[in-house]
A and B are shown apart, each in its own frame.
Chain A
Amino acid sequence: GAVVSQHPSWVICKSGTSVKIECRSLDFQATTMFWYRQFPKQSLMLMATSNEGSKATYEQGVEKDKFLINHASLTLSTLTVTSAHPEDSSFYICSAPDRVSNNEQFFGPGTRLTVL
């Protein structure tokens, strides 16, 4: 199956700094990618839809100025957590849909962010 990678797999940063997380589709093109957030012992919540060549679509309650999404190419979407705070500590997971079958999502392995 198709592979989606994320980098870094984990990151620890100080409060107030910005962190960039990359999501790459390794062997297929993805015009759309999704970013999810998972707090400890909770489910995944959709944060935003990343669209190649256009602005991302954010879910209600997600601050677009805080979570900057850039989908600059057909294989790369980045999520930047700006001015991170401890409450932003979470597991961030991206996914890309299968453009051929349109019925399967390929998930990245996730990035664990810890803000001190």
Chain B
Amino acid sequence: GEDVEQSLFLSVREGDSSVINCTYTDSSSTYLYWYKQEPGAGLQLLTYIFSNMDMKQDQRLTVLLNKKDKHLSLRIADTQTGDSAIYFCAGADTGRRALTFGSGTRLQVQP
């Protein structure tokens, strides 16, 4: 099955850009996702990218997908203190639809 890895922690200053990285093993994942989880809360879907795309931009969020290296990244422009949370990347096994989540990256935004 899919194996997804992320760096555990990232600290940035307010106004800077944040880049959260993710690597995965199963190149057959059709979609790759980014979720945000605030303390004690459920998951919020931020964005997703189809596997035949290289990049997707949605307001402050930019997703880059390098299929050759099996690397996915999420860039948050002009990071705000409200962006402080845990960010999970996830992939879906082909045909299965259940998601395999990365370990999560805790983003801390310093004012």
Contact = CB atoms under 8 A, between A and B. Distances in A.
Contacts of B50: 103
A32 interface: yes
Given A43-B104, A93-B42, A112-B40, A103 B30 contact: yes
Interface residues of A, number: 21
A104 interface: yes
A28 to B, nearest CB: 15
B45 interface: yes
A112 B40 CA distance: 9
B99 interface: yes
B51 to A, nearest CB: 11
Contacts of B104: 42-43
A110 B41 contact: yes
A32 B41 CA distance: 23
Interface of A: 32, 34, 36, 42-46, 49, 93, 95, 97, 102-105, 107-110, 112
Given A104-B48, A109-B42, A112-B40, 18 more contacts: A34-B98, A36-B101, A42-B103, A42-B104, A43-B88, A43-B103, A43-B104, A44-B99, A46-B99, A49-B98, A93-B43, A102-B97, A105-B33, A105-B97, A105-B99, A107-B35, A107-B45, A110-B42
